[in-house]
Amino acid sequence: MRYYLLLFLLYLLLFDAKPASAILLQPARHITMADGLPSNVVYDIYEDSKGFMWFCTDQGISRYDGSAFHNYSIKDGVPDREVFRIREDNQQRYWLVCYNRKACYLKHGKIYTSENDALCRKIEAEDIAYDELFTDRDGNECLVGKKIGVLRPGPPYLKILDHVTLPAGRLRHFRINGDDCIMTTNGLYNINTNALQKMGYAAVSFYDGHSLFVSAFTSTEKGQELHQWQLRGDSLYLVKEIKVPGRLYQAGPLEKNGMKLCTSEGILAYDSLSKKIIPDPGFPAGVPTNNMRVDKKGNQWISTLNDGVYFVPVNGGRIIDQRSGLLKSNILSISLSSEGDILAGDDDGHVYRIKKNNTIQIYTLTPRLPDNRVLFVRDNGQGLLIVGSDAGLFTIEGEHVSAIRVSISMKAGVFSENHFYAGFSAGFLVYNSHTRKAGYYEMGRITALALDGKHILWTGGIEGLNYYTDGQAQKYNLDTLLASSRITCMATAPGGGILAGSITQGLFVIKSPEQPPLHLDKLKGLSGNSCKQIFVSENGCIWLCSDGGIDRIIQTEDGDFMIKPFPLPSGLTGNQINDLAESDGRLYLATSGGILALNSEGMLPFDPPRLYIESVNGNAFTGQSLRFRYKERNLQIMYTGLSYTGGSPIEYKYILAGSLDDTLYTNEQAINFSALSPGDYKLLLWCRSPASDWTASPVQLSFTILAPFWRHPVSIAVLLLLAGAAVIAIFRFRINKVKKRVAQEARNQQQLAELEMNALRAQINPHFIFNALNAIQFYYSQNDEITANHYMSSFAHFIRLTLAHSQTHWLPLSEEIAMLRIYLELEQIRFQHLFTVTINVMPGLTVEQVAIPAMLIQPYVENAINHGLRYLKERQGELILSFSMKQDNLCIIIDDNGIGRTQASTYKQSQHASFGMKITHQRIEAINRMYGIIVLVDIIDKPETGDKPGGTQVSLLIPLELIDHDSDYTNR
């Protein structure tokens, strides 16, 4: 029943001959704990000398710069949770009025109380219990409470006015006729004349320069009143009693005649001419407010006791919403009629015509179908409106609404003389406004429509554009990026072309079907690449709404396009704008909060943000040049750009003069410099908001990184002396080391020579000579003169080679093998061929090019014969010498099948064998030491074969040395 009653009332509203009048409200931004406030209970608002806004709450204080809050509470040193007021003196101290009346101030980010500050202790000792800070007529800053304490820049820092005693409670200072007056709870006190004029309890007071307005509670029946007093000489006269709805919290000046009152019933305006109190039309009615502050830029800040803060920007335009007469505030589409009326549609099937006299005509498309989004409203200029919505296509003529087609969601539409084209998910519909008939064309999903200057129909879909000639669809394929892009919005371009906005690739400008498009995106200056809506003004200005905001695009004489971002009110982003239209210097935006009307001509540019350097390495910046030690050369510089109306984010650019001198850009509010070199630096910092230019002059920070102590002249001199002494010491050490090395090499040469002489003696030892002579004698006694002569000749050749090789340290492997052949031939003759000899040289091994220490192999061969092969009785002895390459080493193997080392140890041995092997091992150690190489020797007993020993194998691994024939290698 209630639903049908509502429909009936709505019907009466739609066809009432007296439409409702639209109230244009100021858009207010609501700031709460969700945005960073410490509490939604806000007692006071204050703007400091820099432009920061301060909020006093029941959870401490908060400083706001337009984007971020810096909160101070008990954990930061505030003596009480509840702070009623904050005031700044000329020494940049912020005095807090706390609930417990403890003395407290904030300076450079630090809280000072009686626990850490002598001035606060003095204030508490004098029991001032201050409630306000004011500047007297002599320029002195005074804390006023039970007493008045004058703050002084030097000792004594506090002077008490002994003649003043005031009652506790809320105090306010006024300058009346040149005298400093304090409004107390029981009257007006003149500090200069010490006169008190009683007028009863006054919780709220305001002096407008002529009259004193004081709140009064006269009786329960009358409630709270505002009394207007006139001051004549030393007397006050009651002029008027003004009834105030609700509870009065604050009174302040109005722009023209009168006052603004913050009350429990909202903000009220008192007109001093009409003597009436009315609701403020620029603020939401019924919202309880307790304080209002107008900042230096004209913005209004309004606090509440349970709902945070409302911010009303001075350039925020005007808004039309439900308070103005709309049924719903979520406006999805907006356009302009031929008469200049605003045509708008909401998310519930309502169409609004807002006329120039601010009257609103409301049409309902389908009363029984809720959640019907109105996506476009088009006017043919002849009294016909066509509306596209989720429920289908409708016409509005006069006050009559008719359906052309229902149950199909219409996405876009455009008039072409008597025909209207509407796009939907399967193609487009053509409606003839004369015959009132409609036809359908299935062409796939259509998301946007437009006509070019030649009345060619263009359609946009999920894969680029199509255009229609002679009733046939043609694919526009002159740009691959456009052909693969989803088209979200279209319009006729200035000059007759087509504008097509895409969902991810920005804007395309097509002059004709035969020409490729001009592409505009963020790289070309657009605020965003995700286009939402396009509107072309009568003057040819293109208005583009994207995810990044709104851009004004103007075509220049040379055919290029100039792009300028349009400043949006603080808190409004491109994603919150559903549609836009512009006419006669007003830009109309369809938003979820209503229709926002802005000045489209005079809002650009905004003033740049006010920029301040806050701290360096956590310490408050006072504006002075700074000096840092070398170990403090990692710096963090914090800064803030104040902007309440220019949008966000704020962009910063900086140059560090003295370093790279490059201009760098950031959106962060901190710069970190690491490992700066010693020297003098100057940081130059600029900022801008999305709606402003860069700050005209940079904020500067000069600082010096001191050189480390070792770069001080005295330190450098000491270091030079130490370095000189070190060089001398190193030089002497090197000389001594060279001398020792030369001496060691001489000793090594001498030792090696002695060892080689010992090796020579070992090779031509008396036993060997005696045995050789006996063999020669034996062959002569047997009349074997040929063998004897051959043996004698070989023996003499061997002695000559041994003596010759004893003069060299290294010799070619070929010569060593030749000497071994002679030696083995002598031993075979002597032992009557008891063993055979085999010498194997690996193919590819050039024995003439490989060097080997002289007379190194013969002792091992002699040892194999005398201690292994000579004792064989039952089998032929075999001695095999192998020469091969193993990686970069010469590998020599002496292999015999003698009795092995174990059985050989049972025979009585002469001392010659052990002496010869000892000399050989010492030679190897000397060679390793002298030449820096490693000669490896490995001796193993081969496995037994049956009950017979397998013999012995000796392996020598000598680093490969090649002979350079151009140098004397023998004395290497």
| Average pLDDT of the residues in 946-971 | 76
The total number of structural domains in the chain stands at: 3
Top-confidence residue, 739 or 301:
301
Question: In the structure, what pLDDT confidence band is assigned to residue 17 with cuts at 50, 70 and 90?
Answer: very low
Write the pLDDT tens digit of every residue in 812-836.
Answer: 989 889 888 888 888 888 888 889 9
pLDDT digits (tens, 9 = 90+) for 76-94: 999 999 999 999 999 999 9
Higher per-residue confidence, 559 vs 681: 681
User: Does 289 reside within a domain?
Assistant: no
What order of strands is seen across the sheet that includes strand 20-21? 20-21, 359-364, 350-354, 342-346, 331-336
- For residue 564, being part of any structural domain is answered with yes
Using CA atoms, how far apart are residues 288 and 45, in angstroms rounded to an integer? 15
Cβ–Cβ < 8 Å for 212, 236? yes
Q: What angle do CA 731, 737, 739 make, to 5 degrees?
A: 105
| Burial degree of 639 (CB within 10 A; 0-12, 13-18, 19+) | buried
Record the pTM.
Answer: 0.63
Q: What is the number of residues in the chain?
A: 972
> Is pLDDT of 756 > 90?
no
Do 479 and 392 sit in the same domain of this protein?
A: yes
- Distance CA(84)–CA(81), nearest Å, equals 10
Domain ends where: 592, 621, 648? Answer: 592
CB 260 within 8 A of CB 251: yes
Residue 446 banded pLDDT, cuts 50, 70, 90: very high
pLDDT at 707 over 90: no
Contact 601, 585 (CB under 8 A): yes
* 816 and 938 part of one domain: yes
Q: Is the Cβ–Cβ distance between 782 and 827 less than 8 Å?
A: no
Q: Report helix angle 785-805 to 713-763, nearest 10.
A: 170
Q: What is the pLDDT of residue 221?
A: 61
Q: How large is the C-alpha radius of gyration of the chain?
A: 53
Is 971 part of a structural domain of the chain?
no
Same domain flag for 529 and 639 = no
Q: With contact defined as beta carbons under 8 Å apart, do 740 and 733 qualify?
A: no
The CA-CA-CA angle for residues 564, 570, 572, to 5°, reads 75
Statement: residue 501 has pLDDT above 60: yes
| pLDDT given at position 723 | 84
698 and 795 together in one domain: no
Considering the chain, what percentage of its residues have pLDDT values greater than 90?
A: 45
Nearest of 386, 475, 365 to residue 429 by alpha carbon = 386
Q: Which of 376-380, 463-467, 830-834 has the lowest mean pLDDT?
A: 830-834
For range 851-861, the mean pLDDT? 86
pLDDT band for position 770 (cuts 50, 70, 90): low
Domain presence at residue 504 = yes
Residue 19 confidence (pLDDT): 53
The residues, ordered by sequence, that sit 6+ positions from 539 with a Cβ below 8 Å of its Cβ are none
For 726, left (φ over 0), alpha (ψ -120 to 50), or beta? alpha
pLDDT tier, 426 (very low <50, low <70, confident <90, very high otherwise): confident
Least Cα distance to 839 among 880, 898, 869 occurs for: 880
* The pLDDT of residue 767: 55
The model's pLDDT over 605-653, given as tens digits with 9 standing for 90+, comes to 578 899 999 999 989 998 899 999 988 889 999 999 998 887 778 899 9
Q: What is the mean pLDDT of residues 212-217?
A: 83
Residues 6+ apart with CB under 8 A from 336: 342, 343, 379, 581, 583, 588
Lowest mean pLDDT among 262-266, 293-297, 571-575, 593-597: 571-575
Residues 694 and 563 in one domain: no
Report which of 495, 497, 486 is spatially closest to residue 456, judged by C-alpha positions.
Answer: 497
Percent of the chain past pLDDT 70, that is, above it, reads 90
859: enclosing H helix or E strand = helix 858-864
Long-range contacts, stretch 769-778, CB < 8 angstroms, 24+ apart:
771/830, 772/826, 772/830, 775/829, 775/830
Residue 166, token pair as written in the block:
């005031």
SS (H, E, C) 218-282: EECCCEEEEEEEEEECCEEEEEEEEECCCCEEEEEECCCCCEEEEECCEEEEEECCCCEEEECCC
Tokens of 615: 């701290």
Does the structure show a pLDDT above 80 at 930?
A: no
pLDDT confidence of residue 102: 96
The answer on pLDDT for 25 being more than 70 is no
DSSP 446: -
**Residue 851: pLDDT above 80?**
yes
Q: Would strands 419-424 and 172-176 be described as parallel, antiparallel, or unpaired? A: unpaired
- Which residue shows structure tokens 């409301």? 362
Structural contact between residues 476 and 464, judged by C-beta atoms closer than 8 angstroms = yes
Rounded average pLDDT over 129-139: 95
Q: Rounded to whole angstroms, how far apart are CA atoms 548 and 291?
A: 35
Whether 539 and 393 share a structural domain? yes
Give the pLDDT of residue 883. 94
pLDDT of residue 219: 57
* Cα separation, 102 vs 113, whole angstroms: 8
Asked if pLDDT for residue 10 goes beyond 70, the answer is no
Range of the domain at 874: 742-959
**Is the residue at 277 inside a domain?**
no
The CA distance from 523 to 502, in Å, is 15
What integer pLDDT is reported at residue 60 of this predicted model?
A: 97
Give pLDDT, residue 714: 75
User: Residue 559 — left, alpha, or beta (φ > 0 → left; ψ -120 to 50 → alpha)?
Assistant: left
For residue 120, tell me if it sits in a domain: no
Q: Is the pLDDT of residue 771 over 80?
A: no
Residues 427 and 564 in one domain: yes
Q: Taking every pair of C-alpha atoms in the chain, what is the biggest distance, in angstroms?
A: 171
Task: Kindly tell me the sign of the dihedral angle through the C-alpha atoms of 549, 555, 558, 564.
Answer: negative
* 683 and 752 together in one domain: no
**Range of lowest pLDDT (205-209, 881-885, 965-969):** 965-969
Q: How far apart are CA 652 and CA 613, in angstroms?
A: 12
Is 297 a residue whose pLDDT tops 80? yes
| Residue 965 reports pLDDT greater than 90 | no
Q: Note the pLDDT tens digit of each residue in 137-178.
A: 999 999 999 999 999 998 999 999 988 889 888 899 999 989
Q: Is residue 743 scored above 60 in pLDDT?
A: yes
Which amino acid, residue 174?
Answer: F
What is the amino acid identity at position 779? Y
β-bridge pairing 952-959 and 498-502: unpaired
pLDDT of residue 972: 56
pLDDT, tens digit (0-9, with 9 covering 90-100), for 311-356: 988 777 788 888 888 999 999 999 999 898 999 999 999 999 998 8
The four Cα atoms 163, 166, 170, 175 give a dihedral, to 10 degrees, of -40
879 SS3 class: strand
565 shares its domain with 615 = no
- If asked whether residues 644 and 770 sit together in one domain, one would say no
What is the mean pLDDT of the segment spanning 894-922?
Answer: 74
Q: How far apart are CA 904 and CA 275, in angstroms?
A: 140
Q: Which of 707, 728, 759 is the last residue of a domain?
A: 707
The first and second tokens of residue 566, run together, are 């349009």
Inter-helix orientation angle 813-830/785-805, to 10°: 150
**CA 226 to centroid of chain Cα atoms:** 55
- pLDDT value for 759: 53
Give the end of a domain, one of 592, 625, 660: 592
Average pLDDT across the chain, whole number: 86
> In this predicted model, which residue has the larger pLDDT, 363 or 768?
363
Lowest mean pLDDT across 232-241, 374-383, 446-455, 915-924: 915-924
Q: Are 619 and 487 found together in one domain?
A: no
Segment 533-558 shows an average pLDDT of 92
Asked whether residue 544 is assigned to any structural domain, the reply reads yes
Please tell me whether residues 762 and 661 are part of one structural domain.
Answer: no
Q: Terminal CA-to-CA distance of the chain, rounded, Å?
A: 122
Structure-token pair, residue 500: 């097509």
Q: Where is pLDDT greater, at 744 or 797?
A: 797
Average pLDDT, stretch 265-290? 82
pLDDT at 448: 95
Query: What confidence tier does 8 reach under pLDDT thresholds 50, 70, 90?
Result: very low
Task: List the CATH number of the domain containing 353.
Answer: 2.130.10.10
Task: Tell me the C-alpha distance between 457 and 436, whole Å.
Answer: 20
168 within some domain: no
Which of 793, 790, 833, 797 lies closest to 818, judged by CA?
Answer: 797
Q: Which of 48-62, 679-693, 931-945 has the highest mean pLDDT?
A: 48-62
**CA 644/CA 309 separation, integer angstroms:** 13
User: Comparing C-alpha atoms, which of 84, 103, 93 is closest to residue 49?
Assistant: 93
Provide the pairing of β-strand 179-184 with 187-190: antiparallel
At residue 766, does pLDDT exceed 60? no
Q: Which of 233-247, 405-419, 881-895, 898-912 has the highest mean pLDDT?
A: 881-895
Beta strands 851-853 and 877-886, pairing class? unpaired
Smallest CA-to-CA distance from 863 within 815, 909, 800 is with 909
User: Which residue's entry shows tokens 């008039």?
Assistant: 415
Query: For 612-652, what is the HEC assignment?
Result: EEEEECCEECCCCCEEECHHHCCEEEEEEEECCCCCCCCEE
- Whether residue 752 has pLDDT greater than 80: no
CATH number at residue 904: 3.30.565.10
Amino acid at 454: K
CA distance 775 to 785: 12
Does residue 61 carry a pLDDT above 70?
Answer: yes
